[in-house]
Amino acid sequence: MRLKAIHHVEFTVRNLDKLENFAKDFGLVAVERSDERLIMRTRGGDSYCYVANKGDGNRLLAVGFEVEDETSLDEAIQRHGARDLGAMPFGGGRGVALSDPDGNEIVLMYGVKRRKSEASYPELLINTPFQKQRFGHSQYPRETGPAQLWRLGHVGLFVKSFAATAKWYGDVLGLIGSDIYHIPGQPQVQIVGFFRLDRGDEYVDHHALAFMQDDRGGCHHISFEAQDFEAQNRTHRYLARKEYESIWGVGRHPHGSHVFDVWRSPDGARFETFSDTDLFRASDGTNYHDISTITLDEWVDDGPERYFA
Ligand SMILES: [Fe+2]
């Protein structure tokens, strides 16, 4: 099975109007809206990356991945008992659906349409003590407003059994552990892990999925790529002025190295921006850590209690 990229997430939410306002302030762009459904995209060329259906609360319905070839869909049906979804209702392509050990629906798709990526702000020109690249002018101006988001990057899931989840995603989707945390003194009891796609020699994000063992199940957070930390800090200020609830950040994770900023949606879901993530190949291995040695934010001592609450 050759996965190409994580593609979208689908949820139910209680109030589509409130969610749409929040998601637009956060940086997503509405593609389609009815009384029952909201579909949103980033500016990076996806035809959609986030779907919300009107329902009785914040609940994960599906995580979608693009696969490299149509053969991978047939392989999912024949080897793993995937359900054929046929033509996808939105964005084109054909899909199949699997259930992970927690019953989350994993949709695999081939032939999904893309759109043209939009123009970004000019890249920051950073002057350090050792290298100068900005002469005779200030940084190019940017607005303080919704983030320009470029793609869905990863999803964090609460899972009932980390071991069963890691095995299933490894066996079925070929995911590879990048960093895995075990309980103090017991390397065999693993409870948190960051998993990347297997794209062979191609460099991919440090993780496309993160798993945290927790009986609550469901989605922990969804994360979209912002241009850089400048964009994240500006949007942090914008969202704070709008009196949304900041959950955690702006900070930097030790594993993946990415800069993160997490906000709560009106339905209680965690929406994250990230930038500057590490890239790994399939051959770059897996690192294991005692969870008691981990600092989750490298920049401040603000603990992650609200993040996991
Ligand atoms: Fe994240």
List pLDDT tens digits, range 157-213. Answer: 999 999 999 999 999 999 999 999 999 999 999 999 999 999 999 999 999 999 999
Give the pLDDT score at 301.
83
Q: What distance in angstroms lies between residue 203's CA and the mean position of ligand 1's atoms?
A: 18
Measure 295 CA to ligand 1 centroid, in angstroms: 15
Distance from residue 54's CA to the centre of ligand 1 (Å): 25
Q: Tell me the CA–centroid distance for residue 130 and ligand 1, in Å.
A: 31
Confidence bin at 38 (pLDDT 50/70/90): very high
Cα 96 to ligand 1 centre (Å): 26
Average pLDDT value for residue range 249-254:
94
Expressed in angstroms and rounded, the spacing between residue 131 Cα and the centre of ligand 1 is 31
Question: What's the 223 CA to ligand 1 centre distance in angstroms?
Answer: 5
- Residue 231 Cα to ligand 1 midpoint, Å, equals 17
- Ligand 1: centre distance to CA 289 (Å): 18
| Secondary structure letter of residue 233 according to DSSP | H
253 in Cβ contact with 298 (< 8 Å): yes
Q: How far is CA 220 from the centre of its chain?
A: 10
CA distances from 235 to 8, 117, 226, 251, 270 (A): 22, 21, 10, 14, 15
How far does residue 192's CA lie from ligand 1's centre (Å)? 13
Q: How much distance in Å is there from the Cα of 234 to the middle of ligand 1?
A: 19
Q: How far is the CA of 272 from the centre of ligand 1 (A)?
A: 6
Enumerate residues with CB within 5 Å of ligand 1 (an ion): 223, 272
- In the chain the domains, ranked by start, together with CATH numbers, are 3-116+148-308 (3.10.180.10)
Tell me, what's the pLDDT at 309? 81
- Judge whether residue 303 has pLDDT over 90: no
Asked whether residue 155 carries a pLDDT value surpassing 80, the answer given is: yes
pTM of the model: 0.97
Q: How far is CA 38 from CA 10, 14, 302, in A?
A: 10, 12, 34
- The answer on pLDDT for 295 being more than 90 is no
Segment 45-56 shows an average pLDDT of: 97
Neighbours of 52 (CB within 10 A): 27
- Residue 302 pLDDT > 80: no
How many whole angstroms from 298 Cα to the centroid of ligand 1?
14
* Average pLDDT value for the chain: 96
The reported pLDDT for the residue numbered 283 is 98
Please say whether the beta carbons of 5 and 202 come within 8 A.
no
Q: State the distance from the centre of ligand 1 to the C-alpha of 274, rounded, in angstroms.
A: 7
Choose among 174, 171, 169, 224: nearest CA to 199: 174
